[in-house]
A and B are shown apart, each in its own frame.
Chain A
Amino acid sequence: MPGSSIPSTVIDGLKDKFPAIEVSENLTITVPEAELLSFMRELRDNPDYDFNFLTNLTAVDYPDNFTVIYNLVSFKYGYTLMAKVNLGKDEPAVSSLTSLWGSADWQEREVYDLFGIIFTGRHNLTRILLEDGFAGYPLRKDFQWVGGRE
């Protein structure tokens, strides 16, 4: 039965290649924004990890920063990996991963739609769920709206 968590030897190898990454206790990797694309390309293309499936891409609005979360799966080894990128509160922008995984396309558009995080290096970054003229980004914590019970 394939294991679910990525072995620590692999993590150590990654640390050697990308000294800037931080690994937390539960093996969540925090990547600096500048290295995201090369880090992810390494994860996808290196046959030792072979993370071929970007399963989930989402974001969280923390009080101090935005965090974009990537969940990767390797079908070959059964590894799962959670990677995070912290972004500043003002005009958050991060490299797009559509060149690596097709599944990033709609999920990035969803994050852009609901959080207003810009994904650079891709085309067709438009609202996907809300209509084009919608004001604001609803999943931000400071979003105000009219509505509710009368």
Chain B
Amino acid sequence: MDVTREQHPIEKMTNDSSLIQQVKRVIHLAPLEKIFNLARGYSLWPLGFGLACCAIEGLMATNAPRFDLSRFGYEVLRSSPRQADVMLVAGTITNKMAPYVVRLYEQMPEPKWVIAMGSCAISGGPFVDSYYVVPGADKLIPVDVYVPGCSPRPDAVLHAFMMLRDKVQGKVVLENAR
């Protein structure tokens, strides 16, 4: 049977519209990468790596009972970068820490994503004119989602994870955000 992008094979087998609808709901046909991404998007494993204040909100409070990151399947905080696929840059990156942030990122296996949480990770925040602060995580590593705030609420972190999921799954993120 030929499989094309336009037509689902079930449509060739039957004319029953409710059956077609049901089968289409559970059986997706897509390139393998897309199927992988579907799964990836629902089980991101963050790296348990806190830098500063934002780690309390972004890693601790978000994982705690009220905000409960595990509702989304993202609670598997890995202590080793080799087992993680999302890095939550939660806090100020200093000159002394910068090489380690880069090394941790490089140790993570592909595919990997980065969420820059808080104004320090976005641009240096209140410490931008310091002699020892890297003005933003994107000076060191590519960033996928920025979460503004100082520090952002855990809700904002949850939203960031959902935006990242949409990005991973290939949905149009900006349309949804509007």
* A touches B (Cβ under 8 A): yes
A: residues with CB less than 8 A from B are 130-131, 138, 143, 145, 147-150
Is A138 within 8 A of B128, CB to CB?
no
- Dominant SS at the B interface? loop
Residues of B within 8 Å of A149, CB to CB, are: 128-129, 135
Is B130 within 8 A of A147, CB to CB?
yes
Is A145 within 8 A of B131, CB to CB?
yes
Known: A130-B96, A131-B95, A131-B96. A150 touches B135 (CB 8 A): yes
B: residues with CB less than 8 A from A are 95-96, 128-133, 135
Residues of B within 8 Å of A143, CB to CB, are: 131
Question: Smallest distance from the beta carbon of B96 to chain A beta carbons, Å?
Answer: 5
Residues of A within 8 Å of B96, CB to CB, are: 130-131
Question: Smallest distance from the beta carbon of B95 to chain A beta carbons, Å?
Answer: 7
Residues of B within 8 Å of A147, CB to CB, are: 128-131, 133, 135
Is A148 within 8 A of B129, CB to CB?
yes
Question: Smallest distance from the beta carbon of B98 to chain A beta carbons, Å?
Answer: 11
Question: Smallest distance from the beta carbon of A134 to chain B beta carbons, Å?
Answer: 8
Is A138 within 8 A of B131, CB to CB?
yes
How long is the Cα–Cα vector from A143 to B95 in the complex, in angstroms?
A: 17
Residues of B within 8 Å of A131, CB to CB, are: 95-96
Give me 14 A-to-B residue pairs in the complex whose CB atoms sit less than 8 angstroms apart, sorted by A's number.
A130-B96, A130-B132, A131-B95, A131-B96, A138-B132, A143-B131, A145-B131, A147-B130, A147-B131, A147-B133, A147-B135, A148-B128, A148-B129, A149-B135
